Amino acid sequence: MKVVTIASDLDQPFLQRLLIPSCGILGLDLIILHSTQEGFRHSDKRSIFTDYLARHADADELIVFTDAYDTLFIRGEQHIEDLYTSFSQPVVFGAEAGSWPLGALGFALLDTPPIYPYPFLNSGGFVGPAGVLLDLYNRYPKPPSERFELLEKLRLFDYDTDERYAFSDQYYWTLVQLVEGGTVALDHKALLFENLGPRVPDVWDLKILLGHYEFYAQDRKAASYREERERLEELLRTPSQAAHIHFSNPMSKAAVLDLLDEGRLPDWLREVTGSNPPGASGPTILSHELR
């Protein structure tokens, strides 16, 4: 099994201080695909990851993909493999409470009742055999939006979701999963992947957006940061049962790093944020530039 991530900044604090140490302590084989081109976009992840799968991975090799700058692992390979086999589909994605980036449109695309507590796909962590993942990428070189009557109708009014959300890898995988439900499962119960970002009814809610703008302008002095930090500290009192934790919010990510600096992370997280044990290998770094 390989853990694969994509990073344009190898010195990014969350990557260096949380993701890499957690993989080392747990004995996970981490591969960092270092994107060296300027102007890296989230949508570039598909091309970079496809190239890795085609050139470096065996078809039956189990691959865990993770975001680089806001995730860490708290359980190792055997735990991941055991829970992965409990799903009937060969690919399993993490899930979250909100629908990013589609907002309320994401609610309308579901043709079955939502499964709680995490109804919607989150692309910050997923797992599957390299060959199956590569086949999905090859069969869907672009988001399959033409398969959805609602999105086609919106296009008639010059509301093209492919253009609006081209920046988002999660938009791509959301549509693929809805089309390929027999191949791609969602981890609705956070057995493998847990998203600890705030639960919001609509990601485009004005209060949510203003909170982010306030944080970008005022940093740690922002009331929105203080509220998020308090929420996160309370949440982290209870250990997660998942293997992979995703802090998918800029304020959540900042708060975790601050708690790390202050020595205030709970024991269940502190166990995977120290120094690597003697003899542990570091990540493998593969440089990549889009052609």
**What mean pLDDT is predicted for residues 26-43?**
87
pLDDT on residue 278 = 67
Assess whether pLDDT exceeds 90 at residue 120. yes
Mean pLDDT, residues 201-228 taken together: 86
CA distance readout (Å), 161 to 3, 120, 136: 31, 17, 20
Q: What is the mean pLDDT of the chain?
A: 93
pLDDT (average), residues 208-219: 89
Q: Percent of the chain having pLDDT more than 70?
A: 95
Read off the pLDDT of each residue in 152-157 and give the average, rounded to a whole number. 97
pLDDT category at 291 given cuts 50, 70, 90 is low
Residue 23 confidence (pLDDT) above 60: yes
Q: What's the chain look like in SS3?
A: CEEEEEECCCCCHHHHHHHHHHHHHHCCCEEEEEECCCCCCCCHHHHHHHHHHHHHCCCCCEEEEECCCCEEECCCHHHHHHHHCCCCCCEEEEEECCCCCCCHHHHHHCCCCCCCCCCEEEEEEEEEEHHHHHHHHHHCCCCCHHHCHHHHHHHHCCCCHHHHCCCCHHHHHHHHHHHCCCCEEECCCCCCEEECCCCCCCCCCHHHHHHHHHHHHHHHHCHHHHHHHHHHHHHCCCCCCCCEEECCCHHHHHHHHHHHHCCCCCHHHHCCCCCCCCCCCCCEEEEECCC
- Write out pLDDT tens, residues 180-193: 999 999 999 999 99
